[in-house]
Amino acid sequence: MADNEFATCLEDWEDLEKEYVQLEEGHKNYTKLLEQMTAAQKKCVADIAHHRYRIRRIMETLKKVGRDLTEEEVQQREELLQKIKDRKDNFREMEESLPHKNGIYLSIILGQVNVSLLDKGDKFKYKQEYEKFKLTVSNIIMLISLFTYFIQSYRWVDALLNFLLVWYYCTLTIRESILIVNGSRIKGWWLTHHFVSTVCAGISLIWPEGETYQKFRTTYILFTFYLTFVYALQYYYQSGCLYRLRCLGQGHTMDITVEGFMSWMWKGLAFLLPFLFFGYFFQLYNAYTLLMLALESNFREWQVVALAVIHFFLFAGNFLTSLKVIRQKLKDDGRLDFLSKKYKFRNHAHPKTL
Ligand code: COA
């Protein structure tokens, strides 16, 4: 009996040896392809840099010869400038499937580890995960701030809330930097907003217990609750956009058109914007309250003035950037090429039937 089992083992092993030879061959093939791919990536990156350099030189010369051209040459010059613009767009498109260097912030935190996602599906998943992360943590912060509102005398609960906020905003800055490396067009201000918010939560965390702290505490907790509520609303808008744009970008069979997307986006914005602007005026109110408290307490605690300045800075940045975003969207509305350029719809598909 035992002999039989042993013989089966030997037979199995022989069998596996044959399969292993195939596995080894497959792996060798894979490493060779990987080496070829890395070499091709490096070559593409270098070639794009070379083309950019030569285009820069051509542009410099074009600037110099601008004055004494004939009418025909002026027209040729315009055509050339348009071709250069299109070529630059093509470079950007090519770069989406090539590895990128990390910015200074990511290099400091992560070093030169490669965070480039080369596949569109992976980029979409990462962005989706980022939005879900924001929603989950916002919900947790919302619950804690509600709890903190009713528990008056436990400073450690306030500290927990602020600590969570510091961690949340810090994590957002890292995730957003990775998104930017992978081609996301997040405006610089939103990233700055999360850096400044980290500092704001950090200062609130170390603000010593006292009369001034207690006077601002309720307003601050209500503001935190409101902010996370707005983040939750933002999630539904952003993930709706993301899903629809992905369907458009893939020429999906889902019944969606560019016009349909634009109309959905405007409806979403019309719903979201009043909540956002109410939040900005809440920030302005916080800045005013803190300034009054600083004056009242004769600037005894530096945290009060610092927070007043930060709340005002956040109000101004958010308010102006949101106005800029709306203005840009109004300008782009109806220009289908802006969407198709941004999300690279399939060339053969007509926008109406995408
Ligand atoms: N945080 C992170 N990413 C943001 C963002 C924000 N606040 N606002 C926009 N983005 C991202 C978008 O997802 C998009 O990413 P993608 O290129 O990877 O697809 C990119 O930036 C460009 O977005 P854009 O077309 O300019 O705007 P939008 O339609 O996606 O969103 C708003 C417009 C106004 C809804 C959005 O900018 C927003 O929510 N702003 C308010 C943020 C705020 O004020 N927070 C504090 C609350 S008090």
Would the CA dihedral through 107, 108, 113, 116 be positive or negative? negative
Provide block-wise average pLDDT over 10 residues at a time, the chain (354 residues). 84 95 97 96 96 95 80 89 94 90 92 88 92 97 93 85 97 96 92 97 94 94 96 94 79 64 90 97 97 93 96 98 94 62 44 31
Domain ranges of the chain: 2-95, 119-339
* Protein residue with least CA distance to atom 28, ligand 1: 238
Tokens representing residue 84 in the block: 């250069």
Is 248 exposed, middle or buried, given 0-12, 13-18 or 19+ CB atoms closer than 10 A? Answer: buried
- Cβ–ligand 1 distance for 279 under 6 Å, the answer yes
Are the C-beta atoms of residues 196 and 314 closer than 8 Å to each other? yes
pTM: 0.84
For residues 55 and 220, what is the distance between their CA atoms, to the nearest angstrom? 53
Are the C-beta atoms of residues 336 and 257 closer than 8 Å to each other? no
- Cβ–ligand 1 distance for 320 under 6 Å, the answer no
327-to-37, 147, 239, 277, 324 alpha-carbon distances in Å: 43, 39, 22, 15, 5
Are the C-beta atoms of residues 336 and 233 closer than 8 Å to each other? no
- Cβ–ligand 1 distance for 286 under 6 Å, the answer no
Ligand 1 centroid to residue 160 C-alpha, Å: 28
What pLDDT was estimated at residue 212? 94
The amino acid present at 170, given as its one-letter code, is C
Helix, strand, or coil (residue 315) = helix
What pLDDT was estimated at residue 338? 53
Ligand 1 centroid to residue 354 C-alpha, Å: 24
Ligand 1 centroid to residue 210 C-alpha, Å: 37
* Protein residue with least CA distance to atom 11, ligand 1: 186
Helix, strand, or coil (residue 254) = coil
Q: Following DSSP, what letter does each residue of 153-211 receive, concatenated?
A: S-HHHHHHHHHHHHHHHHHHHHHHHHHHHTT----HHHHHHHHHHHHHHHHHHHPPSSH
- Cβ–ligand 1 distance for 325 under 6 Å, the answer yes
Question: Which DSSP letter does residue 353 get?
Answer: G
User: Which H or E run contains 267?
Assistant: helix 258-296
What pLDDT was estimated at residue 112? 83
Ligand 1 pocket mutation pick from 130, 184, 263 by most atoms within 8 angstroms of CB: 184
Ligand 1 centroid to residue 289 C-alpha, Å: 28
What pLDDT was estimated at residue 71? 84
Calculate Rg over the CA atoms of the chain: 28
Are the C-beta atoms of residues 67 and 96 closer than 8 Å to each other? no
- Cβ–ligand 1 distance for 127 under 6 Å, the answer yes
For residues 76 and 69, what is the distance between their CA atoms, to the nearest angstrom? 10
- Residues, the chain, total? 354
Ligand 1 centroid to residue 349 C-alpha, Å: 28
For residues 83 and 239, what is the distance between their CA atoms, to the nearest angstrom? 35
* Protein residue with least CA distance to atom 8, ligand 1: 186
Would the CA dihedral through 31, 34, 36, 38 be positive or negative? negative
What pLDDT was estimated at residue 342? 53
Q: In angstroms, how far is the first alpha carbon of the chain from the final one? A: 67
- Cβ–ligand 1 distance for 232 under 6 Å, the answer no
What pLDDT was estimated at residue 253? 47
User: Which H or E run contains 144?
Assistant: helix 120-150
Ligand 1 centroid to residue 58 C-alpha, Å: 36
Ligand 1 centroid to residue 186 C-alpha, Å: 6
The amino acid present at 328, given as its one-letter code, is Q
- Closest-lying ligand 1 atom to the alpha carbon of residue 322: 34
* Protein residue with least CA distance to atom 26, ligand 1: 325
